[in-house]
């Protein structure tokens, strides 16, 4: 039971308290770039959930069973980024071949994910927090869910405020950033959950 408890703690911390976008600033580029419509934001979120969970599993296994025994820990950045790039490529090919409908809905977001720093960030944070493979996977999944929640919320706000009359200089990105700032203030409130 203690294991399940610690996993739940990890999940809540990763998805709400330390929200990947709003408090750790990982994955800002897709967060600002693909949040114009709720549909595409949701698609991006799903693709990120898929890739981050898979990547934290694979990176966790490689770190525990290859890098640690052979004393190659200092290579983790290079190894992880290559693993992630290959993984994204494989997932894309696999989906194209065997799951065409899923590929059509998520396909355009997949190449973008290689440069999503949230994927590499989670893999590195799993290592620096000394999570085992299972904890790493849970952390990855929860982080990605937090990302999806944040990007869908922002897309909702942007759909509502798109035609608002704001000062000339603030049109576009500054307004999006200010919306994110207000969301971040709201998410600061979750820090009470950690107890």
Partner 1 sequence: MEEKKKGALGLTINSPAERVFNGFIVENPTLVLLIGMCPSLAITTNAVNGIYMGLATTFVLALSNVVISAIRKIVPDTVRIPAFIVVIASFVTLVDLVMHAYMPDMYAALGVYIPLIVVNCIIFGRAEAYASKNGMVPSFFDGIGMGLGFTAAITAIGLFREILGTGTVFNIPFMGSKVAETSALHGVPQVLIFVQPPGAFMVLAFLIALMNKIKKVLENRGKDTSQFGEMAAEETAAAKKAEEMKKEAAAKKEEAAKAIEKKEELPEKTEQFKEEAEKRAQAAKEEVKDAAQEENKEVSK
Is 85 a binding residue for partner 1 by CB under 8 A? The answer is yes
Which of the ranges 68-76, 92-100, 131-139, 145-153 carries the binding residues for partner 1, by CB under 8 A?
68-76
Q: Can you list the positions of beta strands (E) in 62-157?
A: none
Which of the ranges 9-17, 65-73, 81-89, 143-151 carries the binding residues for partner 1, by CB under 8 A?
81-89
Q: Which of 22, 47, 59, 155 lies at the binding interface for partner 1 (CB under 8 A)? A: 22
CA angle 153, 155, 157 (to 5 degrees): 70
Dihedral sign computed on CA atoms, order 42, 34, 98, 136: negative
CB within 8 Å of 153: residues ≥ 6 apart: 183
Smallest gap from residue 107 Cβ to partner 1 (A): 18
Describe the crossing of helices 38-62 and 76-98 by its angle, rounded to 10 degrees: 130
Is 128 a binding residue for partner 1 by CB under 8 A? The answer is yes
Is 23 a binding residue for partner 1 by CB under 8 A? The answer is yes
CA distance between the termini of the chain: 19
Q: Which of 115, 133, 156, 157 lies at the binding interface for partner 1 (CB under 8 A)? A: 115
Is 35 a binding residue for partner 1 by CB under 8 A? The answer is no
């Amino acid at each position: 039971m203690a294991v399940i408890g610690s996993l739940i703690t990890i999940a809540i911390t990763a998805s709400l308290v330390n929200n990947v976008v709003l408090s750790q600033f990982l994955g800002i580029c897709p967060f600002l770039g693909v949040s114009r419509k709720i549909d595409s934001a949701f698609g991006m979120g799903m693709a990120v959930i898929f890739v981050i969970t898979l990547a934290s599993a694979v990176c966790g296994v490689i770190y525990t069973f290859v890098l640690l025994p052979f004393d190659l820990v200092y290579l983790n950045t290079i190894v992880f980024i290559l693993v992630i790039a290959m993984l994204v490529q494989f997932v894309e090919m696999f989906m194209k071949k065997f799951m065409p409908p899923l590929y059509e809905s998520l396909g355009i977001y997949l190449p973008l994910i290689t440069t999503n720093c949230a994927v590499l960030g989670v893999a590195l944070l799993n290592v620096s927090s000394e999570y085992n493979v299972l904890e790493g996977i849970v952390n990855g999944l929860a982080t990605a869910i937090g990302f999806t929640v944040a990007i869908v919320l922002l897309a909702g706000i942007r759909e509502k405020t798109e035609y608002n009359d704001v000062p000339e200089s603030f049109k576009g990105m500054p307004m999006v950033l200010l919306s994110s700032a207000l969301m971040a203030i709201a998410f600061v409130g979750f820090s009470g959950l950690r107890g």
